[in-house]
Amino acid sequence: MKEISELEEISRKTREKRAELAWSKSWWRTFERIGAGLAVIAMVGLAAYGLNTLLPIIWSKNSAWLNSRTAIALCCGAVISTGLVFYNLREKHRFIYASAEMGASLVTAYSALSQLNASHDLERFLLTLLGAIYIFVRACDNFKKWREVGTAQQKIMRKKIAELQSEYDTLGAKFDALMRADPRYKDAIAKMDAITAQHKGKG
């Protein structure tokens, strides 16, 4: 019957939303996020190490060309493109962006210490260290904003579950009253009771 199919569909959607909400709050999801954050931090460190190794070699072999207008234009284009990529990353994947910021702050702090050991330039060390602290604070701020978005999404899921539950209860009550008054629907009533029992269960 059409009504039973509608009840089954509403019940399925409700259970899917419950499972999605439970997963978003689970410890496994937390461990997954921590692992992803550490992986991004490690990738930033490796990228910084690679650039620190390769750039001096590239500069020594192409110093004349790197001072040309073409190289300067390409460098400006690369800065703009990279900035747009990171802006898009921040808007759509703030957790990954914040993790990258955290990695950049650690790399900057390490660079400050390396410079101090090499040149003993205290002023340069302090300026670089302040930059690392600023990046770290920005990372914490983006983690906070990401968390706020996650909390808002959970509220939306709870609201959707409540709406589905209300729709299920309204349709179920109407259908139940009609069917229980007619003995011909005994089997259908038994099936509806089974759907309801499954619907009330977790997940």
Which residues in the chain land under pLDDT 70? 1-4, 6-7, 10, 21, 23-30, 63, 65-66, 172, 175-186, 188-189, 192, 199-203
Amino acid at the residue 87: Y
Residue ranges making up the domain that contains 119: 2-200
- Cα(110)–Cα(176) distance, rounded to whole angstroms? 69
The per-residue pLDDT for 39 is 83
**How far, in Å, CA of 78 to CA of 169, rounded?**
57
Q: By three-state DSSP, how is residue 130 classified? A: helix
User: Over the Cα atoms of the chain, what is R_g?
Assistant: 29
Q: Which two tokens stand for residue 174?
A: 């109407």
- 25: CB partners within 8 A, 6+ apart: 154
Reported as a single tens digit per residue, the pLDDT across 165-203 is 787 777 767 766 666 666 666 676 677 677 777 766 644
Report how far residue 22's alpha carbon sits from residue 161's, in angstroms, rounded to the nearest whole number: 12
The number of folded domains in the chain is 1
Distance CA(38)–CA(102), nearest Å, equals 10
Contact between 175 and 7 under an 8 Å Cβ cutoff? The reply is yes
How far is Cα 35 from Cα 186, in angstroms, rounded to an integer? 53
Which residue type is seen at 122? L
Q: Tell the burial category of 166 from Cβ atoms under 10 Å away from its Cβ (0-12, 13-18, 19+).
A: exposed
pTM over 0.95: no
3-state secondary structure 166-179: HHHHHHHHHHHHHH
Task: Give the pLDDT confidence of 138-156 residue by residue, as tens digits.
Answer: 999 988 888 887 777 777 7
Residue 53: other Cβ atoms inside 10 A:
9
